[in-house]
């Protein structure tokens, strides 16, 4: 289990799963392109042409990387997150953290110290993408959430803040709050920060349950606790009264988001480790997708389990890890499928298409899911349409102002009343061909 980004990187390095890149790339477009071409691999940049500081990307390179970081098998990930949601842990409090080894204040504060990527040619500028904002409300406690942050000056960012918990906290505080943007976090905390828990339940408890967690007081407000193991902490204030154009930005769906006025975060202090590692999260990349999808699988699982025997849920990267889910059930009656479809939409309100498969179809194998669409599905019988439903703001095909969309549930299960054997996929027995070929690997 990895309680810090460094432990996670050391573990990947020992397993030969860390790709190291020489300091030859530009922060402008080239480094992001490298992350894109090395999708599925964790990448350590030794530095860049414009900035000698190191960075990492694709920290949660795959589902398997995440499973490894929290010490479970890949097949146990959804259940492990569900357990952490049900029984949060208790973080340990320490007086000072490694994240405060260096403190920059006053004129020394310049966010150019961080090797911030410009991801796409049309983006509004360099963006911090893995920055988790920590705020605190005297009654509701701590809240953690990601907000893409456009560099607009040496000490300021323009943020994208949707109408969720951080906005709620800001409004309760009269429009302005001290905040810490924390960067360089272990996978457990990266995932916890992506969960929408609602006010009053802290993401810190989920991270503590997944892999343990130490917190220390921020300098800006001793009541505001930050992860002691973070690489960088940018302390300052977010203000709704001060806004600045934010965007365009290539987001989760790999399409361009528009320019809007966004609240400004003014940085007052930077604390860090002596040799901090920056985390660049490729927007629209697999890491972004996993962070969006993984927290929703347990919420769908819970809702579907309440109505039928649900074996597994997979939010698929092909559906931007936000709009599509495959739900695997053991069907006991025809009513199970429609109940599972309705429940899946309750479990994740942004879901657009849900595919219900039988227990013999692997929901993590896109070819198998498509095979069941081809062999078990008839559109006039098995397609359930929900026109005029409120969907995701991230779907460019939905009506942009009302967010109205047509949701659909696909029943890919074996139809009732038919001979089952006609729908069963023939399974070849396993055979050890390597032994027959004298142990020579394929292709030699």
Ligand X SMILES: Cc1cc2nc3c(=O)[nH]c(=O)nc-3n(C[C@H](O)[C@H](O)[C@H](O)COP(=O)(O)O)c2cc1C
CB of 413: closest distance to ligand X in angstroms? Answer: 31
Counting contacts by CB under 6 A, is residue 394 touching ligand X? no
Residue 63 makes CB contacts below 8 A (sequence gap 6+) with 74, 77, 290, 294
Question: Concatenated DSSP letters for 260-327?
Answer: EEEEEEEEEEEEE-SS--EEE--TTSHHHHHHHHTTHHHHHHHHHHTTSEEEEEEE-GGGTTTTEEEE
CB of 289: closest distance to ligand X in angstroms? Answer: 9
Counting contacts by CB under 6 A, is residue 108 touching ligand X? no
Nearer to ligand X, 260 or 437 (CB): 260
Cα–Cα distance between 275 and 215 in angstroms, integer? 20
Options 88-96, 190-198, 365-373, 387-395: segment touching ligand X (CB under 6 A): 190-198
Counting contacts by CB under 6 A, is residue 96 touching ligand X? no
Counting contacts by CB under 6 A, is residue 281 touching ligand X? yes
Nearer to ligand X, 260 or 422 (CB): 260
For 377, which DSSP code? -
Strands (E), 85-199: 92-93, 102-105, 127-128, 132-137, 141-146, 149-153, 156-159, 176-183
Nearer to ligand X, 161 or 323 (CB): 161
CB of 196: closest distance to ligand X in angstroms? Answer: 3
Q: Does residue 251 carry a catalytic annotation?
A: yes
Counting contacts by CB under 6 A, is residue 292 touching ligand X? yes
Task: Specify the 3-state DSSP secondary structure of 136.
Answer: strand
Nearer to ligand X, 375 or 393 (CB): 393
Q: What sign for the dihedral angle of Cα 269, 273, 274, 275?
A: negative
CB of 179: closest distance to ligand X in angstroms? Answer: 13
CB of 271: closest distance to ligand X in angstroms? Answer: 22
Counting contacts by CB under 6 A, is residue 195 touching ligand X? yes
Distances in Å between the Cα of 55 and the Cα atoms of 46, 52, 253, 287 are: 7, 10, 24, 15
Nearer to ligand X, 58 or 145 (CB): 145
Question: Contact with ligand X (CB under 6 A): which of 12, 81, 134, 161?
Answer: 161
Counting contacts by CB under 6 A, is residue 288 touching ligand X? yes
Residue 365 makes CB contacts below 8 A (sequence gap 6+) with none
CB of 273: closest distance to ligand X in angstroms? Answer: 22
Cα–Cα distance between 424 and 413 in angstroms, integer? 11
Instruction: Give the count of residues interacting with ligand X (CB under 6 A).
Output: 18
Question: Contact with ligand X (CB under 6 A): which of 75, 196, 255, 261?
Answer: 196
Residues 143-164 as b/e (b if ≥16 CB within 10 A, e otherwise) read bbbbbbbbbbeebbbbbbbeee
Cα–Cα distance between 155 and 269 in angstroms, integer? 9
Question: Contact with ligand X (CB under 6 A): which of 49, 164, 418, 422?
Answer: 164
Catalytic residue among 251, 336, 358, 395: 251
**Which pair of structure tokens corresponds to residue 44?**
């350590």
Question: Edge-to-edge strand order for the sheet containing 278-280?
Answer: 18-21, 42-45, 55-57, 278-280
CB of 167: closest distance to ligand X in angstroms? Answer: 7
Options 188-196, 337-345, 367-375, 397-405: segment touching ligand X (CB under 6 A): 188-196
Cα–Cα distance between 396 and 50 in angstroms, integer? 35
The interface with ligand X within residues 166-185 (CB under 6 A) comprises 166
Counting contacts by CB under 6 A, is residue 160 touching ligand X? yes
Task: Specify the 3-state DSSP secondary structure of 3.
Answer: coil
**Which pair of structure tokens corresponds to residue 267?**
């940085």
Options 265-273, 285-293, 302-310, 338-346: segment touching ligand X (CB under 6 A): 285-293
The interface with ligand X within residues 129-158 (CB under 6 A) comprises 143, 145-148
Strand partners, 105: 269
Nearer to ligand X, 65 or 143 (CB): 143
Nearer to ligand X, 118 or 145 (CB): 145
CB of 34: closest distance to ligand X in angstroms? Answer: 18
Counting contacts by CB under 6 A, is residue 194 touching ligand X? yes
Nearer to ligand X, 142 or 331 (CB): 142
CB 146 within 8 A of CB 132: yes
SS (H, E, C) 54-84: CEEECCCCCHHHHHHHHCCCHHHHHHHHHHH
Counting contacts by CB under 6 A, is residue 55 touching ligand X? no
Residues marked active site are found at 251
Q: Which residues bind ligand X (CB under 6 A)?
A: 143, 145-148, 160-162, 164-166, 194-196, 281, 288, 291-292
């Amino acid at each position: 289990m990895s309680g810090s980004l460094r432990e996670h990187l050391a573990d990947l390095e020992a397993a030969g799963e860390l790709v190291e890149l020489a300091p030859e790339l530009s922060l402008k477009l080239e480094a992001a392109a490298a992350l894109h071409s090395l999708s599925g691999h964790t990448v350590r940049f030794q530095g860049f042409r414009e900035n000698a500081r190191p960075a990492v990307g694709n920290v949660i390179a795959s589902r398997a990387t995440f499973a490894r970081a929290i010490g479970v098998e890949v097949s146990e990930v959804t259940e492990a997150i569900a357990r952490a949601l049900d029984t949060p842990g208790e973080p340990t409090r320490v007086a000072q953290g490694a994240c405060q080894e260096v403190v920059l204040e006053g004129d020394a504060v310049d966010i150019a110290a961080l090797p911030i990527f410009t991801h796409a040619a049309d983006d509004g500028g360099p963006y911090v993408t893995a920055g988790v904002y920590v705020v605190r409300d005297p009654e509701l406690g701590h809240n953690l959430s990601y907000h893409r942050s456009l560099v607009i000056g040496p000490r300021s960012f323009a943020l994208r803040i949707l109408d969720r918990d951080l906005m709620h906290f800001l409004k309760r505080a009269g429009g302005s709050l001290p905040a810490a943007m924390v960067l360089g976090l272990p996978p457990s905390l990266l995932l916890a920060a992506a969960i929408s828990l609602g006010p009053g339940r802290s993401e810190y408890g989920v991270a503590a349950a997944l892999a343990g967690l130490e917190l220390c007081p921020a300098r800006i407000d001793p009541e505001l606790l930050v992860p002691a193991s973070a690489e960088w902490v940018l302390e300052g204030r977010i203000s709704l009264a001060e806004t600045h154009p934010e965007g365009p930005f290539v987001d989760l769906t790999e399409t361009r988001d528009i320019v809007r006025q966004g609240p400004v975060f003014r940085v007052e202090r930077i604390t860090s480790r002596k040799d901090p590692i920056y985390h660049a999260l490729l927007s629209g990349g697999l890491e972004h997708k996993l962070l969006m999808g993984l927290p929703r699988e347990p919420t769908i699982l819970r809702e579907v389990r309440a109505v039928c025997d649900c074996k597994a849920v997979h939010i698929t990267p092909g559906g931007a890890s936000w709009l599509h889910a495959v739900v695997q059930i053991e069907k006991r009656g025809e009513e199970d499928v429609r109940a599972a479809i309705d429940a899946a939409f309750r479990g994740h309100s942004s879901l657009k298409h849900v595919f219900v498969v039988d227990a013999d179809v692997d929901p993590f194998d896109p070819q198998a899911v498509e095979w069941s669409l081809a062999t078990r599905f008839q559109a006039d019988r098995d397609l359930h349409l929900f026109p005029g439903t409120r969907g995701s703001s991230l779907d460019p095909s939905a009506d942009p102002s009302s967010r109205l969309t047509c949701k659909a549930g696909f029943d890919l299960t074996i139809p009732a009343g038919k001979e089952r054997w006609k729908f069963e996929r023939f399974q070849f027995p396993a055979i050890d061909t390597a032994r027959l070929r004298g142990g020579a690997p394929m292709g030699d």
